[in-house]
Amino acid sequence: MQSALITGTSSGLGRGLAQRLHDRGWDVIGTVRDEAHGIGAPWTCVLADVTSPADIARLGQIVQSRWGKLDALVNNAGICQIGPWEELSDQEITHQLNVNLIGAMNLVRQTLPMLRQGPGVIIQISSDSGQIAEAMFGAYNASKFALEGASEALLEEVEPDGVRVVIVEPGNFRTQISRNSPQPQGKNSTQRYSAQWKKIDEWLTWHGNESPIPEKCIDAIVAAITNQDAPFRLAVGQDVSESIRLRAKKIISQMDASDKFLNSH
């Protein structure tokens, strides 16, 4: 029986993925932050906080004692801290990075010996925000851009052992991340971003109620787990791959401008 450890299975992508793999005969462990969120789940739910080193170490021990190997690790747990740089606190920025980046890195470190036994696959749930930055999402962009860069390095480190790494870059899908997105305690404290905050509030309402259901993204993650030829990056959602291509063209243009500037000064 194949094994999977998935973080953030209380709702959304994580829960849908855990159910899908369970239905395909996988033995699944999913993490939740509240015991109530695991009630009724047919897979094993473990209470764990990805920002807790003790919880991360315990997850590694559970995987080792239960399976001794790991076929798939899915770093799905995440939050989206919204707000402009100057209205965010030290604690809010740090928490964003701890959940989306450092927790994922620490869990890979704990489970890599078991993933080598498979060899298994590491699925990093990033976002189109891991490629495309936008005002009011700077902290979230920082966490996802960093996750993608760290995963590029990780791929080079583990590829010789046969361990695969796949970054999934979803666009807008209807999950709880928008409903649970923390807004800074100092929201609009500078009075400089009132128009942007109005757009954010409208977007959050749309995202939580009218954005596409996540089945297409769950399909993509399952395909990445179960197919050895999955590419390193999977951009999923309407216009996501095209938006990332446009950003790549913009970077090329910026490099052309860089060369021209340096050659003229």
Q: Which two tokens stand for residue 93?
A: 């920025």
The strand pairing partners of 27, in sequence order, are: 3
Of the candidates 219, 228, 225, which has an alpha carbon nearest to the alpha carbon of residue 2?
Answer: 225
Query: Can you give the chain as a three-state secondary structure string?
Result: CCEEEECCCCCHHHHHHHHHHHHCCCEEEEEECCHHHHCCCCCEEEECCCCCHHHHHHHHHHHHHHCCCCCEEEECCCCCCCCCHHHCCHHHHHHHHHHHHHHHHHHHHHHHHHHHHCCCEEEEECCHHHCCCCCCCHHHHHHHHHHHHHHHHHHHHHHHHCCEEEEEEECCCCCCCCCCCCCCCCCCCCCCCHHHHHHHHHHHHHHHHCCCCCHHHHHHHHHHHHCCCCCCEEEECCCHHHHHHHHHHHHHHHHHHHHHHHHHC
Q: Which residues are catalytic?
A: 140
